[in-house]
């Protein structure tokens, strides 16, 4: 008999629409599973929030999603993972397993690199947190991480619009130090970056492996469900639905580019009020 939790969805949350690139890979890899996605757009961006605030947000969203039914929880946000993953795991222990970004990507990169020279493109906050250094030191102690902070990249992608020379110049500028370092693997340390993956591949060369959190998380979700014996049968087509804390229409409008799949109904769910985040640096 199937486990009683097997029929519940996998829940994914993020500060906004970026995590939809993670959901995209999960939908490709696990078409038979159901998913619930929560974008905390009312409190976006998380990058400038304090660790204390992020721990409170993560716990609130974890409880909110568990109350709606979830057999696994995915934190598809670098800032929330860095600040809140350990405390969220402690708070939800015995009720649901929690997967974050960073560790699965580092593990994937460790398995892919041959030279041990690994590049990282990420936001300034993620680079400053040192989270990828620590994760890579665990999964590949011999590897060297070359981290490049990319302050302009996520905002340019979020703004949308056509791929233009400014975006190409931006990508090439951030890739230049990684080319100089001769890395053979690049970690995309921000969920926005898969949207410019071809530009990064062109800048780095076809021989360089590019690792994104979407792929890594999809593998990890599959593994966790299998280990816990809570997978759905593969002979069905799963469904997915969207919740957000801000304007559903705005979420839809920006989100379709990130999901690359039909983005149906989006429902607004109220969350605790929070002071405006500091302006992005």
Q: Which residues bind its own copies (CB under 8 A)?
A: 24, 27-29, 31, 162-165, 167-168, 172, 198-199, 201-203, 205-206, 237, 256, 260-264
CB of 21 to its own copies, least distance (A): 11
Selected catalytic residue, list 77, 150, 170, 175: 77
Selected catalytic residue, list 26, 150, 170, 190: 190
- Contact by Cβ (8 Å): 35, 13: no
* Ramachandran assignment for 238, one of left (phi > 0), alpha (psi -120 to 50 degrees), beta (any other): beta
CB of 205 to its own copies, least distance (A): 7
Based on the residue annotation, tell me whether 77 is a catalytic residue of this protein. Answer: yes
Cα distance between residue 241 and residue 239, in whole Å: 7
CB of 218 to its own copies, least distance (A): 8
Helix (H, G, I), strand (E, B) or coil at 179: helix
Q: What residues have CB less than 8 Å from 176, skipping those under 6 apart? A: none
Q: Which is nearer to its own copies, 228 or 256 (CB)?
A: 256
The 10 Å Cβ neighbour count of residue 43 is: 23
Nearest partner of 190 among 129, 137, 249, 256, judged by Cα: 129
Q: Which is nearer to its own copies, 115 or 239 (CB)?
A: 239
Cα angle: 164, vertex 169, 172; to 5 degrees = 125
CB of 23 to its own copies, least distance (A): 12
Q: Which is nearer to its own copies, 70 or 203 (CB)?
A: 203
Q: Which is nearer to its own copies, 142 or 165 (CB)?
A: 165
Based on the residue annotation, tell me whether 244 is a catalytic residue of this protein. Answer: no
Catalytic residues, which ones? 77, 190
């Amino acid at each position: 008999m199937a486990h009683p939790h097997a029929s519940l969805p996998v829940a994914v949350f993020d500060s906004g629409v970026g995590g939809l690139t993670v959901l995209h890979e999960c939908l490709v890899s696990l078409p038979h599973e159901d998913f619930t996605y929560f974008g905390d757009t009312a409190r976006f961006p998380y990058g400038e929030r304090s660790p204390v605030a992020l721990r409170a947000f993560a716990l609130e969203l974890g409880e909110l999603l568990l109350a709606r039914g979830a057999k696994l929880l995915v934190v598809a946000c670098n800032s929330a993972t860095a600040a809140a993953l350990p405390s969220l795991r402690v708070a939800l222990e015995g009720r649901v397993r929690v997967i974050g970004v960073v560790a699965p990507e580092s593990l994937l990169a460790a398995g892919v690199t041959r030279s041990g020279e690994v590049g990282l493109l990420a936001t300034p906050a993620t680079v400053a947190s040192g989270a990828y250094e620590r994760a890579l030191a665990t999964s590949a102690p011999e590897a060297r991480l070359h981290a490049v902070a990319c302050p302009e990249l996520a905002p340019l992608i979020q703004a949308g619009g056509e791929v233009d020379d400014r975006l190409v110049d931006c990508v090439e500028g951030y890739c230049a130090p990684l080319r100089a370092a001769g890395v053979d693997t690049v970690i995309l340390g921000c969920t926005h970056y898969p949207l410019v993956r071809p530009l990064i591949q062109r800048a780095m060369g076809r021989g360089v492996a590019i690792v994104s959190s979407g792929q890594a998380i999809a593998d990890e979700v599959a593994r966790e469900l299998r280990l816990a014996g809570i997978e759905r049968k593969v002979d069905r087509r799963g469904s997915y639905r969207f919740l957000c804390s801000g304007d559903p229409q705005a979420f839809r409008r920006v989100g379709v580019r990130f999901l690359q799949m039909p983005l149906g109904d989006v429902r607004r769910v109220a969350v605790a009020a929070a002071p405006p985040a500091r302006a992005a640096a």
